[in-house]
Amino acid sequence: MIQTPYLLFLGDAPDQLAAKVAQGIQDWRPDNVVGQLRLEGCKADVGAPDMTLEAAKAAGAKTLVIGVANRGGVISQKWKSVLLDALAMGYDLASGLHNLLRDEADLVEAARKHGRALHDVRVPGVEFPIANGVKRTGKRCLAVGTDCSVGKMYTALAMDKEMRARQMPATFRPTGQTGILVTGGGIPLDAVIADFMAGSVEWLTPDNDPDHWDLIEGQGSLFHVSYSGVTMALIHGGQPDALILSHEPTRDHMRGLPGYDLPSLEALRDLSLQLARVANPDVKVVGISVNTKDLSEDDALAYLADTEARMGLPTVDPFRQGAGRLVDALAAL
Amino acid sequence: MIQTPYLLFLGDAPDQLAAKVAQGIQDWRPDNVVGQLRLEGCKADVGAPDMTLEAAKAAGAKTLVIGVANRGGVISQKWKSVLLDALAMGYDLASGLHNLLRDEADLVEAARKHGRALHDVRVPGVEFPIANGVKRTGKRCLAVGTDCSVGKMYTALAMDKEMRARQMPATFRPTGQTGILVTGGGIPLDAVIADFMAGSVEWLTPDNDPDHWDLIEGQGSLFHVSYSGVTMALIHGGQPDALILSHEPTRDHMRGLPGYDLPSLEALRDLSLQLARVANPDVKVVGISVNTKDLSEDDALAYLADTEARMGLPTVDPFRQGAGRLVDALAAL
């Protein structure tokens, strides 16, 4: 686990989008954030108080999180002196960059000298078991998509937020880098060795109270030939009781795969249920989450209403409308 | 690629089963074998000529293959002097053991000193790409199983042997350790990082002549919750034109998963086709391969006949009957 609270390092982010990891942390777990640290020329602002390393340390920050992505995912030399100062002051560092903290000799040496931890959340930190398929107590919800990058993480985080507000027992279970940084723990599933994928998902979602929900972050798509094996491991390792179908209605082909059509929501429903029943015969599809960011308000509402009528399932865009109706569907199970 | 031909090292194998990797190489690629090397007390014999390191070297052997598995997959100290002598004499070493050659300091040092290679076939030796889903030329056949360990590798190797005998252009494409040692190359799919699984299968089965068949070694099962993600990557990365259904009829639950029933051949056929069509809409199921080793001859023949009548597909045990009818089915496509 990464120690919270965080100071969010935005570096010299050239625009707001470059700081989307920091923004995600600030949006979903403001309690994990003490402030933001911006270098000269930084064009991003996630809305947290600007702080120096010293001020944030005094306010209780434990970890400096690199919440900005460079082109190529490298650790900029401009950042190095801040990172080294942070280690000397007693901060741990956490990063989801492709360029690992542990591959930078000066950071490794400083972390060793000051007894601090370097968290590279792209790399699994645990030796996961092979999945054993044993039925676990507690309940689990997984979003599955017609394609990659259709809003599965957003859906799970929005449901988690709503369930916390209702004081329903729930835990968001991250399976990707951003999610891990948001909460401080999880599994970087796309970096796990093939034989241990499903086992890592079992490890992430252990036995729990009967009325507790794990909200498992989805990855990939059963219909995306590059990543379908990862999705399969989530379905069989996660043993979901509830599935949410996720979709983005404006794509003309699968992400990164010209010539591959998106499946219908019906095809996604039928295939996901069939596969999920292998691990949990009682699994149900409980709702649909649509990312309508590229539709006007009118078109979005019309699309949601049409889909709801066609599929007979509560259908929402959690960004426009919140995840309340999806949580209602979980609560009704 | 591992250099052939091999000298097969059987060490102090306590019984014949302990030398099954060596036996597989001798059975399927006798042309790759110069001889076998057995230590005092060895209880296995794969039927190759007994040879010293010197004699096998003179006969052209390039690589000493550890064809024996110890309990725990460790490299025995009893073996070390032979392995070190082999490196000094100019042999490469190859092993599928869990205990890696590269983790033994004395072997690493000797290999460096003598300019020899250490092949740990459990570990991927290539940085694989992410799958791009682009349709490739040539044809591909994949065996999919109702469960793990039902004879998928055996089926592919038996088809490969039959196609070679008929001078049909075909290549066995190994995806596991034994297969890699048999042929000298392949991918250890269960050890590939999740994001690159399907890409490694694309890499293994590149563009080829229009009438050439890749016979891809299957892994896991879509219905086995521990390994289904690996199977999925084979189906989507392999883009098979032909599927063979593989089954072992005497199991009362999925291997290692008490309480999990085996699927029917009909369920395997329908699910495999549905998933394979995502990558190749023209895929067909062409035959059924049944491992009848635990049935009497009469029971086996009756089971095969019943299954063939029920499924309407050529149904054979390639061990009892050869793979001729499965190859006929490929040829007829």
**A49-75 tens-digit pLDDT:** 999 999 999 999 999 999 998 777 788
As a whole number, mean pLDDT of residues B21-28 equals: 95
Task: Identify which of B130, B192, B278 has the shortest CB distance to residue A194.
Answer: B192
As a whole number, mean pLDDT of residues B144-148 equals: 97
CB A194 to CB B191 under 8 A? yes
What does the H/E/C string look like for A206-235? CCCCCCCEEEECCCCCCCCCCCHHHHHHHH
Q: Which of A49, A3, A15, A52 is nearest to A181 (CA)?
A: A3
Q: Say how far apart CA B157 and CA B2 lie, in whole Å.
A: 19
Percent of chain B residues past pLDDT 90, beyond the cut: 95
Set of chain A residues whose Cβ sits within 8 Å of the Cβ of B227: 195, 198
Q: Which of B61, B1, B72, B71 is nearest to B37 (CA)?
A: B61
Q: Say how far apart CA A83 and CA A97 lie, in whole Å.
A: 14
CB A194 to CB B190 under 8 A? yes
pLDDT digits (tens, 9 = 90+) for A173-215: 999 999 999 999 999 999 999 999 999 999 999 999 999 999 9
Set of chain A residues whose Cβ sits within 8 Å of the Cβ of B132: 226, 256-257
pLDDT digits (tens, 9 = 90+) for A242-275: 999 999 999 999 999 999 999 999 999 999 999 9
Q: Is the pLDDT of residue B70 over 80?
A: no
As a whole number, mean pLDDT of residues B224-229 equals: 98
Q: Is the pLDDT of residue B214 over 90?
A: yes
Tell me if residue B92 falls in helix, strand or coil. Answer: strand
As a whole number, mean pLDDT of residues B248-253 equals: 96
The terminus-to-terminus CA distance of chain B in angstroms comes to 32
Q: Say how far apart CA B119 and CA B121 lie, in whole Å.
A: 6
Q: What is the mean pLDDT of chain A?
A: 96
Which parts of chain B are beta strand (E)? 6-11, 33-38, 63-66, 92-95, 118-120, 139-145, 170-173, 213-216, 242-247, 284-290, 315-316
- To the nearest whole Å, the CA of A148 is away from the closest chain B CA by 13
User: What pLDDT, on a 0 to 100 scale, did the predictor assign at position A259?
Assistant: 95
Set of chain A residues whose Cβ sits within 8 Å of the Cβ of B222: 232, 275
Whether B274 contacts B233, CB under 8 Å: no
Q: Say how far apart CA A101 and CA A116 lie, in whole Å.
A: 12
As a whole number, mean pLDDT of residues A160-185 equals: 97
Q: How many degrees, rounded to 5, is the angle at CA B165 between CA B164 and CA B167?
A: 60
CB B232 to CB A228 under 8 A? yes
pLDDT digits (tens, 9 = 90+) for A298-332: 999 999 999 999 999 999 999 999 999 999 999 99
> What confidence tier does B76 reach under pLDDT thresholds 50, 70, 90?
confident
Q: Is the pLDDT of residue B323 over 80?
A: yes
Contacts of B169 (CB under 8 A, 6+ apart): B163, B209, B211, B212, B213
Contacts of B21 (CB under 8 A, 6+ apart): B65, B66, B67, B68, B69, B96, B177, B178, B181
String of DSSP letters for A37-49 = EE-TT-----SSP
User: What pLDDT, on a 0 to 100 scale, did the predictor assign at position B253?
Assistant: 97
Strand order across the beta sheet in which A63-66 lies = A33-38, A6-11, A63-66, A92-95, A118-120
> What confidence tier does A136 reach under pLDDT thresholds 50, 70, 90?
very high
User: What pLDDT, on a 0 to 100 scale, did the predictor assign at position A154?
Assistant: 96
pTM of the model: 0.95
Task: Identify which of A193, A260, A271 has the shortest CB distance to residue B133.
Answer: A260
CB A230 to CB B229 under 8 A? yes
Whether B28 contacts B55, CB under 8 Å: no
CB B193 to CB A197 under 8 A? no
Residues written for chain B: 333
- To the nearest whole Å, the CA of A66 is away from the closest chain B CA by 23
> What confidence tier does B74 reach under pLDDT thresholds 50, 70, 90?
confident
Tokens (6 digits) for A187: 């599994």
User: What pLDDT, on a 0 to 100 scale, did the predictor assign at position B69?
Assistant: 85
Residue A199 φ/ψ, nearest 5 degrees = -65, -35
Tokens (6 digits) for B75: 């490299």
User: What pLDDT, on a 0 to 100 scale, did the predictor assign at position A32?
Assistant: 96
Q: Is the pLDDT of residue B71 over 80?
A: no
> What confidence tier does B98 reach under pLDDT thresholds 50, 70, 90?
confident
Torsion from C-alpha of A184, A188, A192, A196, nearest 10 degrees: 60
CB A233 to CB B194 under 8 A? yes
Set of chain B residues whose Cβ sits within 8 Å of the Cβ of A198: 225-229
Q: What is the mean pLDDT of chain B?
A: 96
Side chain identity at residue A49, one-letter code: P
pLDDT digits (tens, 9 = 90+) for B150-169: 999 999 999 999 999 999 99
CB A230 to CB B271 under 8 A? no
Set of chain B residues whose Cβ sits within 8 Å of the Cβ of A218: none
Task: Identify which of A194, A226, A279 has the shortest CB distance to residue B189.
Answer: A194
User: What pLDDT, on a 0 to 100 scale, did the predictor assign at position A95?
Assistant: 96
Contacts of B9 (CB under 8 A, 6+ apart): B22, B36, B37, B64, B65, B66, B67, B68, B79, B82, B83
Q: Is the pLDDT of residue A98 over 80?
A: yes
The terminus-to-terminus CA distance of chain A in angstroms comes to 32
> What confidence tier does B73 reach under pLDDT thresholds 50, 70, 90?
confident
User: What pLDDT, on a 0 to 100 scale, did the predictor assign at position B259?
Assistant: 95
Element (H or E) spanning A159, and its range? helix A152-165
- To the nearest whole Å, the CA of A225 is away from the closest chain B CA by 5
> What confidence tier does A125 reach under pLDDT thresholds 50, 70, 90?
confident
What does each C-alpha distance from A71 to A60, A75, A76, B18 come to in angstroms?
Answer: 31, 10, 10, 52
Contacts of A224 (CB under 8 A, 6+ apart): A147, A148, A231, A254, A255, A257, A260
Tokens (6 digits) for A140: 């689990």
Q: Say how far apart CA A278 and CA B231 lie, in whole Å.
A: 15
